[in-house]
Structure 1
Amino acid sequence: MSVVWAATSPESGRFHSVERRSEVQDLADRFNDLRSRGQGYVEIGSPDRDFPVLTIAFRDDHAVVHLMSDTGWMSLLAGDGTVPSGVEVEVPVMDDLAAFTGDFVVDVDRAWNLVHDFMRTPAADPVGEWREV
């Protein structure tokens, strides 16, 4: 199965915005490489359509997941209780750190599982509670 993605470069630590089309395993390898370095940002889409696009921004065990649609709306995945509601966590979004409250922070393994589900059926919204921003 092919997927289109762009991600943080493990070498530079900077977001490399040029999209790649590859097999899912290549994306998984990049994610695992970034995970071993402690943080990263990945945008994932389908080779057959421009939207939806799913992003995962993570640092250590915390992740924030965005979903962008072709109608111009963007949603954040609701937090899973990994971080209390009033506590902020910083994750890399492209090349900058962005702060999100626990309302939008999930465990990085849960986020990666959601990415896998999304790659199997990119036409459908990933399972989870989404909050429009």
Structure 2
Amino acid sequence: MNVWWSATSPSSGRFAAPEVETDMAELVERFEWLRAQGRGYLEVRRDDDFPVLTMGFQDGVAVVHLFTSAETTCLLLGESAADAESTQVPVMDEPAEFTAEFVHRLDHAWEAVQQFVRTGEVTGLGQWYEL
């Protein structure tokens, strides 16, 4: 099964917007490289243009966005993995601040992304908050 994705580039350290189509192993490889750097951002989708899941992470915490269309964005409610009231994670190339209610442990967020890639479903990932 193939997945379409874009992510922070190993060569530049900046978000590389052009999407690539690969198998899951290449996405996992990129994620593991980003994890070793301590931060990163990725976007994934399956066959259709939507939904798209994004994950920005830094220092072991992550925030997951869901785009169900070009006009509709949601945040996955987290498990309050942040010690502080808010946390910054990269969104594309810019740091963005999120309240603790949207922050996940990195492993939990990554599992949600992998589950989405496997199933194409977002309903079983948790509760979504529409922006």
The one of 91, 98, 101 equivalent to 2:99 is 101
Which residue does the alignment assign to 2:28?
28
1:122 paired with 2:120, answer: yes
Kindly state the Cα deviation for residue 109 of structure 1 after the two structures are TM-superposed. Answer: 0.2
Letter in 2 for 1:119: V
Is the Cα–Cα contact under 8 Å of residues 55 and 65 in structure 1 kept in the other structure?
A: yes
Is the Cα–Cα contact under 8 Å of residues 118 and 125 in structure 1 kept in the other structure?
A: no
Distance in 2, Cα, partners of 1:123 & 1:116? 11
Distance in 2, Cα, partners of 1:124 & 1:81? 20
- Alignment identity in percent? 44
Kindly state the Cα deviation for residue 124 of structure 1 after the two structures are TM-superposed. Answer: 4.5
Alignment of 1:40-119 (within 5 A): 40-46=40-46, 48-70=47-69, 72-84=71-83, 87-119=85-117
Letter in 2 for 1:68: F
Distance in 2, Cα, partners of 1:117 & 1:123? 8
1:132 paired with 2:130, answer: yes
Secondary structure of the structure 2 residue equivalent to 1:49: coil
Alignment of 1:6-17 (within 5 A): 6-17=6-17
After TM superposition, what 4+ stretches of structure 1 lie above 4 angstroms from structure 2? Answer: none
Kindly provide the CA deviation profile for residues 42-95 of structure 1, in whole angstroms up to 9, marking residues without a partner as x: 00001x2100000000001110000001272110011202125x6111101001
Distance in 1, Cα, partners of 2:93 & 2:29? 20
Aligned length: 131
Kindly state the Cα deviation for residue 125 of structure 1 after the two structures are TM-superposed. Answer: 3.3
Higher mean C-alpha deviation, range 121-130 or range 49-58: 121-130
Q: CA RMSD in A?
A: 1.4
Kindly state the Cα deviation for residue 121 of structure 1 after the two structures are TM-superposed. Answer: 1.5
Letter in 1 for 2:38: G
